[in-house]
Amino acid sequence: MQVRKVPKTIALIPDGNRRWASSHRISVLSGYQLGVQKFIDFSEWCLEYGVKNITVWAFSTENFRRPKHEINALFKIYKKAATDPKILSRLHENRTRFNVIGDKSLLPKDLRTSLEIVEGQTMHYKDRVINMLIGYGGKEDILHAVKEYAKSVIRIGKVITLTDSTFKKYLRSYAIPDIDFVIRTSNEERISGFLPWQISYSELYFADKLWPDFSRSDLKRAISEYGRRSRRFGT
């Protein structure tokens, strides 16, 4: 299976951790732990292909409707990963900037602090970027931009002309470039409000496997499929 071309930007919706845990009769916590480790592996596989920018949807605004104990367990896993010296070492070795994008006020203070420390320690890197969407929702992102635009108009006392580029500056996700390729696992064929501004011309790929089962060969298959597609951007 040949890889003809590689996307510059990949966005990931790693779906199916809970279902995988249930099918293997292990705890949801263990399923999420495997999911986090799988993303670490995924980011390394992407590095091998030369992908420079990865965005992963770690926790949506809708996910806050889940049971409290499940949310707390997942946040503990994220905090553990954020404070893992081995993970931080790999970010430095690969000269990877780590961004956290979403409504951070929704997160526990200890998790928010841990993530912001990693952001600060990697902010000077320009070779690669990993964007973590947490406390993020697509509709909320657009509403946030509209509210911020309105504040700017009130502050300066005149209407600001909006273009694609000027509006994007008001988004929470302003740092994320247009996405070439979106991968969603677990055979869920929908977007669920994922980065509506950045994926208007993205190629979409829906993998059958649950996220913890996603492998290096599955990524190769996905990228090979991307290489076979013709992107015309409306022309």
For the CA atoms of the chain, what is the radius of gyration?
A: 18
Is position 164 annotated as part of the catalytic site?
no
Angle at 172 between CA 167 and CA 173, to 5 degrees: 85
- pLDDT tens readout for residues 65-87: 999 999 999 999 999 999 999 99
Q: Is residue 168 domain-resident?
A: no
Q: Which helix (H) or strand (E) holds 97?
A: strand 96-101
- pLDDT tens readout for residues 39-71: 999 999 999 999 999 999 999 999 999 999 999
pLDDT value of residue 233: 75
Share of the chain above pLDDT 90, in %: 92
Q: Is residue 171 domain-resident?
A: no
Tell me: pLDDT of 173 over 90. yes
Q: Is residue 219 domain-resident?
A: yes
pLDDT value of residue 235: 67
DSSP 8-class letter at 66:
S
Q: Are the beta carbons of 11 and 199 closer than 8 angstroms?
A: yes
Domain CATH code at residue 56:
3.40.1180.10
Q: What is the distance between the alpha carbons of residues 163 and 167, in angstroms, rounded to a whole number?
A: 6
Tell me: pLDDT of 1 over 60. no
Q: Is residue 128 domain-resident?
A: yes
Structure tokens at 149: 């635009």
- pLDDT tens readout for residues 8-18: 999 999 999 99
Of the residues 15, 17, 53, 180, only one is catalytic, namely 15
Q: Is residue 166 domain-resident?
A: no
Q: Is residue 27 domain-resident?
A: yes
In the structure, what pLDDT confidence band is assigned to residue 232 with cuts at 50, 70 and 90? confident
Host domain of residue 25: 9-137+176-228
Q: What is the mean pLDDT of the chain?
A: 95
Q: Is residue 169 domain-resident?
A: no
Q: What is the distance between the alpha carbons of residues 189 and 144, in angstroms, rounded to a whole number?
A: 27
Q: Is residue 224 domain-resident?
A: yes
**End-to-end distance of the chain based on CA atoms, in angstroms?**
29
Is position 110 annotated as part of the catalytic site?
no
The domain tally of the chain equals 1
Of the residues 63, 84, 103, 218, only one is catalytic, namely 63
Share of the chain above pLDDT 70, in %: 99
Tell me: pLDDT of 211 over 90. yes
DSSP 8-class letter at 212:
G
Mean local confidence (pLDDT), 109-129: 97
Cα–chain-centroid distance for residue 57? Answer: 4
